[in-house]
Amino acid sequence: MASISVGVDCEEMGRFKKKIKDGAFLKRIYTSKEIKYCLSKPNPEQHLAARFAGKEAVMKALNGLEEKVFFHEIEILNDRNGVPRVLLKKKSKAELKISLSHTSKIAIAFVIAEEM
């Protein structure tokens, strides 16, 4: 039977407002497509925080399958319906599903990883 693992994370918005203009931070954590998406929005910090939470939730879910991954190896982009999708830039035996939500104060992410 396939193994399933979950991960969740939430982030407070405050610190991400200060990070919008911190190019070194953005490049360390996010891919160029993620930065382009987030900075195109009226409140970029909400999308940056949601993706940060998403990446930590991915890390937690993959840790449950004994896999390790770094921020920059995880890309979270939306499909044409707005549904967020995770692309891993490294070999993995897991298939990932993610859901994001954010308000002006917090962002939260939930991930399911299924070993294929």
Closest to ligand COA by CB, 39 vs 83, is: 83
The dihedral formed by the CA atoms of 30, 36, 37 and 38, expressed in degrees to the nearest 10: 60
How many angstroms separate the CA atoms of 17 and 89, rounded? 27
Q: How far is the CB of 1 from ligand COA (least distance, A)?
A: 28
How many angstroms separate the CA atoms of 85 and 77, rounded? 6
Q: How far is the CB of 78 from ligand COA (least distance, A)?
A: 5
Q: Which residue is nearest to ligand COA (CB)?
A: 82
Closest to ligand COA by CB, 92 vs 102, is: 102
Closest to ligand COA by CB, 17 vs 93, is: 17
Q: How far is the CB of 102 from ligand COA (least distance, A)?
A: 5
Closest by CA to 8, choosing from 73, 60, 45, 48, is: 60
Residue ranges binding ligand COA (CB under 6 A): 47, 50, 78, 81-84, 100-102
Q: How far is the CB of 91 from ligand COA (least distance, A)?
A: 25
Q: How far is CA 94 from the centre of its chain?
A: 16
Closest by CA to 71, choosing from 45, 83, 53, is: 53
